[in-house]
Homo-oligomer: A and B are copies of this chain.
Amino acid sequence: MNSGLNFLVAARQCEIGELEQLARTGELVGVISRFTHELQRERGISNLFLGAQGKRFGKQLASQVAECRQLERDVRQHFARLDTDAIRVRNGARLFSRIAVVLHALDGLAGLRHRIATQALTPGDSTEAFSRLISGLLAVVFEAADSASDPAITRALVAMFNFMQGKEFAGQERAFGVAIFASGYIDTTRQHHWRHLVESQEACFQVFSDFADAAIRADVQASQDIAVLNELERLRRAGFSIGSGGRTDPGMTQAWYDCCTRRIDAMKAVEDSIVLHLRQLCERKIAQARTELRDHQTILDALTRQASAAPASTTAAYGPNLERSVVGMLQEQSRRLQVMSDELDTVRTALNERKTIERAKGLLMAHRQLSEQDAYKMLRRTAMNQKRRLIDVAEAVLAMSDMLPRNAL
C-alpha cells in the first residue's frame, strides 16, 4: 500500500550511495593534489638541472624523484581501488578513460627521467612532458567534479579544480622562467607565452573565488605573503627584459625558483584545506542524509502498522492526518530535488567554459586530423597571436563549424 514511500526511501539510499562515492572521489582528489605538487617541483628542478648542464642540482633532483615515486604508488593504489567496484562508479566510462591516459603517461615516466639524467632533451621538452602528465591528472579531477550530483560538493570540486589548474599554471611559469633565466634569452613568442601563463593563473583563481567557500577564500587571503608577491613581480619584470646577450647571473635563476616555490608551497597549504573542507562536507551531508532516512523509515513503519490494522477502504489508504504527512513528504522531496537541480545547473555553467575549449579541440582534431596536443597548441597559439582569451577563440572555432565540411565521425 505504501509502496510510494518505499521508493522515497530507495531514493534516499541512492543519494547516500552517491555521497559515499563522492567522499571516495574526494580522497582520490587529495592524493592527486599531493602527487601533482611533487611532480610540479620535479619539473622545476629538472629545468634547474638541465639549465646547469647537469653540473648542479643532481642531488636535489634525485631526492625529488624518490618523493614522486612514493606518491605515484599511492595514486596507483587509489586507482586500483576504484577499479574493484567498477560498475558503481558514476561517470565511469569517462573517468576510467582519463585514468588510462594517466597510467600510460606514468609508464613513460622512467624513460623521461632517463632522458633528463642524460641531458638528452631540452628544458622546453621536459616541461612539456611533465605538463602533459599533470594535465592528465587534472582531467581526472575534472571528471570527478563533472559527475557529482550534489550542488554543494560540486561547488567545492569546481573551486578545487580551478585552484589546482591555477596552481599548475603557476608551476608551468616556474619551470618556464627557470629555462628563461638559465638561458639568459627571451624573444617575443616567449614573452607572449609567459604573459599567457600569468593571465591563465588569474582566470583560474577568479573562477575559484566565485565558487569557493568564504572560509577557504579567507585562507587564500591569509596565505598570501606580500613580500613574495613583490619579489615575484620584480623577477617577472627582470625576466621579461632579459637581453639576447648570453647568460645572466645564475643566482637569478635560483632566486626565481625559490620565490615561485614559496608561492606554490603556500598554494599547496590552501589546497590541503580545500581537501579537508571537501571531506568534512561529504561527512556532514552523509550524516544528514542518514538522519533523514531514519525519519522516513520511522514514518514508513508507523504507516505500515496503521495500514495493516485499518480495514481496506476504497477512498484513502491512511487516515487524513497520515495522508497529509505522506503528501507532505512527497512534496518536500520534490521541492528539495528541484532546488538541488537548480543549484547544480548554476554550478555547472562554470564547467562549460572548459567544455567549450574541449569541444573546439575535438573539432580541430576531427577536421584537420590533428592530435589532441596539436589541436590545443593551435588554439593557444591563435589566442596568443590575436591577444584574445582561449575561450573566445574556442567559441569562434565552434561558430565556424557549420562552414567546415562534415566528417564521418
Instruction: Determine the residue in chain B with the shortest Cβ distance to A329.
Output: B100
Q: Which single member of B17, B83, B93 contacts A6 (CB below 8 Å)?
A: B83
Interface-central residue, A14, A314, A316, A372, by most chain B CB under 10 Å: A14
A96 and B97 CA atoms in complex are apart in Å by 29
A97 surroundings in chain B (CB, below 8 A): 7-8, 11, 330, 333-334, 337
Query: Does the CB pair B362–A7 fall under 8 Å?
Result: no
Asked if A5 CB lies within 8 Å of chain B CBs, one says yes
* Copies of the chain in the assembly: 2
Query: Does the CB pair B79–A111 fall under 8 Å?
Result: no
Within the complex, the shortest CB–CB distance from A31 to chain B, in Å, comes to: 16
Asked if A101 CB lies within 8 Å of chain B CBs, one says yes
Q: In the complex, identify which listed stretch (A50-58, A102-110, A123-131) lies at the interface while the others stay far away.
A: A102-110
Query: Does the CB pair B6–A104 fall under 8 Å?
Result: no
**Given contacts A96-B8, A333-B97, A334-B372, are A87 and B14 in contact (CB under 8 A)?**
yes
A:86-102 near B, CB below 8 Å: 86-90, 92-97, 99-102
A6 surroundings in chain B (CB, below 8 A): 83, 100
A371 and B2 CA atoms in complex are apart in Å by 22
Query: Does the CB pair A362–B342 fall under 8 Å?
Result: yes
A338 surroundings in chain B (CB, below 8 A): 358-359, 361-362, 365
Instruction: Determine the residue in chain B with the shortest Cβ distance to A13.
Output: B86
**Given contacts A7-B96, A103-B3, are A13 and B87 in contact (CB under 8 A)?**
yes
Query: Does the CB pair A93–B334 fall under 8 Å?
Result: no
Asked if A335 CB lies within 8 Å of chain B CBs, one says yes
Instruction: Determine the residue in chain B with the shortest Cβ distance to A359.
Output: B342
A7 surroundings in chain B (CB, below 8 A): 79, 83, 96-97, 99-100, 103
Asked if A326 CB lies within 8 Å of chain B CBs, one says yes
Instruction: Determine the residue in chain B with the shortest Cβ distance to A8.
Output: B100
Asked if A345 CB lies within 8 Å of chain B CBs, one says yes
A179 and B345 CA atoms in complex are apart in Å by 41
Query: Does the CB pair A108–B316 fall under 8 Å?
Result: yes
Query: Does the CB pair A11–B111 fall under 8 Å?
Result: no
Q: 20 A-B Cβ contacts within 8 A?
A: A3-B76, A3-B79, A3-B80, A6-B83, A6-B100, A7-B96, A11-B94, A13-B86, A15-B92, A88-B88, A97-B333, A100-B333, A101-B330, A104-B326, A114-B315, A331-B371, A334-B372, A338-B361, A339-B409, A341-B355
